[in-house]
C-alpha cells in the first residue's frame, strides 16, 4: 500500500483516496501486490509467513473486504498478487519446520531452498501441499471476493533452475526438458482449472519471464 507520505498506507486510505483516482483515470482493474502476511517488510510481501491472512500492517481483514467491496461498486476488478512459488524460511512464524521436520511442505536438501531468494520451495508432488495451496486460492476468492490472481514467480516454479543463470533462446528443449518441474506445472494447471471451474469469469495471470511464446491468454 503506497502513500504520498513516508509511511505504510492503510486499506482504508487506499479505499477512500486511491480507488476514486483509479476510476477517474479510466482503469477497470487494480492489482494489489503481495498482501499475504509476512514478517519481513523488505520482501514487499513475497516472503509469506501466513498464507491464510492478509497483512495486518495495512489494517484489519474487514477493512480489506471493505476496500474490495468499494472497488466493485466503482466497477473495478481486484486482482491479488498471490505467492504460491515459495514461502518464508522463518521457523517461528512460518511453515518452515512446522511439524519439526524439514520436509512437511517442502523439498528436502538443496532443492527445497531458493538460493537467491533465501526461501523454501514447495513440493508440488505432495498431496497435502496441493490441498493446502488449492484451498488457499479458493479461500481468497470466496472469503475476500477477489476477481482473480496474478501468480508470482511462475518461472521459478516451472524449472528446477528457477530461470536463474540460464538463457532461454527458443529451443523447445529449454522449456520442456529435464529441468522442467512437472509437478509444479501440473499444480498450475490444477489451480487454474479450479479457479475457472468455480468462477468462469475470473482472471488468472502467470508471471513467466522465460519467453513470450510460453504465455497466452486464458
- Judged by average pLDDT, the poorest of 11-25, 161-175, 186-200 is 161-175
User: 518461472: which residue's cell?
Assistant: 155
Start-to-end C-alpha separation, the chain = 28
Q: What is the pLDDT of residue 12?
A: 96
Known catalytic membership, residue 207: yes
List the catalytic residue out of 37, 81, 152, 181: 152
Average pLDDT over residues 86-105: 90
Structure confidence by residue, pLDDT tens digits, 27-63: 999 999 979 998 867 666 788 999 999 999 999 999 9
Q: Which segment of 24-38, 65-79, 147-161, 200-214 scores lowest on mean pLDDT?
A: 200-214
Which positions ≥6 away from 125 have C-beta within 8 Å? 183
Residue 62 designated active-site: no
Give me the residue label for grid cell 502467470: 206
Active-site position among 69, 102, 183, 207: 207
Give domain limits for the chain. Answer: 1-83, 122-218
d(CA 123, CA 111): 9
Q: Count CB neighbours of 217 within 10 A.
A: 4
**Which residues pair with residue 78 across a beta bridge?**
30
In the predicted model, what is the mean pLDDT of the chain?
91
The topology under which CATH files domain 1-83 is Transcription Regulator spoIIAA (3.30.750)
pTM of the complete model: 0.91
Amino acid at each position: 500500500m503506497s502513500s504520498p507520505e513516508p509511511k505504510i498506507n492503510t486499506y482504508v486510505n487506499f479505499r477512500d483516496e486511491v480507488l476514486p483516482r483509479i476510476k477517474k483515470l479510466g482503469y477497470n482493474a487494480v492489482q494489489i501486490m503481495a498482501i499475504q502476511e509476512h514478517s519481513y517488510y523488505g520482501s514487499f510481501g513475497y516472503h509469506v509467513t501466513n498464507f491464510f491472512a492478509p497483512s495486518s500492517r495495512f489494517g484489519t481483514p474487514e477493512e480489506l473486504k471493505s476496500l474490495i467491496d468499494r472497488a466493485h461498486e466503482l466497477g473495478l476488478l481486484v486482482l491479488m498478487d498471490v505467492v504460491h512459488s515459495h514461502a518464508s524460511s522463518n521457523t517461528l512464524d512460518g511453515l518452515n519446520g512446522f511439524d519439526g521436520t524439514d520436509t512437511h511442505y517442502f523439498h528436502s536438501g538443496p532443492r527445497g531452498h531458493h538460493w537467491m531468494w533465501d526461501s523454501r520451495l514447495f513440493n508440488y508432488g505432495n498431496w497435502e501441499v496441493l490441498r493446502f495451496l488449492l484451498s488457499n486460492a479458493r479461500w481468497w476468492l470466496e472469503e475476500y471476493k477477489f476477481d482473480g490472481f496474478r501468480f508470482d514467480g511462475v518461472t521459478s516454479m516451472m524449472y528446477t533452475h528457477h530461470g536463474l543463470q540460464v538463457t532461454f533462446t527458443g529451443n523447445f528443449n529449454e522449456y520442456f526438458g529435464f529441468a522442467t518441474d512437472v509437478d509444479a506445472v501440473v499444480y498450475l494447471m490444477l489451480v487454474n482449472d479450479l479457479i475457472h471451474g468455480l468462477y468462469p469469469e475470473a482472471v488468472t495471470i502467470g508471471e513467466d519471464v522465460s519467453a513470450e511464446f510460453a504465455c497466452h491468454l486464458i
